[in-house]
Amino acid sequence: MGKWKGHGYSPVDRYYPGLAQVWRISYRFELLALHQANTPQFYPECANLIVTGGGSAFPSSAFLAPIPGAWGVNDPGVNIDIYSDAAKSMTSYPVPGPAVWSGDNSAPAPPLPPTSAPSTVAPPVTTAAPPSSTGTSGTVAKFGQCGGVNYSGPTACVAGTTCSHINDYYFQCV
């Protein structure tokens, strides 16, 4: 049974009895917005998933798609004028991409890739220049905002941290 955990980057736990015991996957999906006529807008999203189950089901290649390359701008459902008379009379929509997998046993699971330590992210570039704002008295805690355009709070960071320029609107004590 699944459960949803509230805020931020919280996990969703699911158990699928027919699926492969453990299936690690980097999952990318794209929202396709059709706000403007003949101008598809893709909004890519990514997630690293670990799917668990007690069976051996795994989708065949018919249900998987390479990214990029799963669809093109001229594929049905991608380049469509949503304001046209033809679109107004459509009774179905040709969804781009591969078919949706039902979860039945269609292929054995591939071998799991070896796991490795996560890569480290380089810290933001720090600057010794004061933020472009008018500060008030007080100090800013580690990871707090210490400057930026239209910022009017304190600009001095606690000992051991530096006010770092993240972007013109946000400086952070790191």
Q: Which residue has the tokens 């952070």?
A: 172
Percent of the chain with pLDDT over 90: 6
Mean residue pLDDT across the chain: 71
Average pLDDT value for residue range 98-117: 58
For residue range 58-101, what is the model confidence (pLDDT) as tens digits? 777 777 777 777 777 788 788 777 788 888 888 888 888 787 77
pTM reported for the whole predicted model: 0.39
Q: Which domains are present in the chain?
A: 3-88 (2.70.50.70), 122-174 (no CATH)
Return the higher-pLDDT residue of 83 and 108: 83
For residue range 53-67, what is the model confidence (pLDDT) as tens digits? 777 777 777 777 777
Q: How far apart are CA 109 and CA 106, in angstroms?
A: 9
Amino acid, single-letter form, for residue 132? S
Inter-CA distances, 60 with 12, 94, 112, Å: 25, 21, 16
Average pLDDT value for residue range 115-142: 57
Q: Give 72-77's long-range contacts (Cβ < 8 A, gap of 24+).
A: 73/40, 77/32
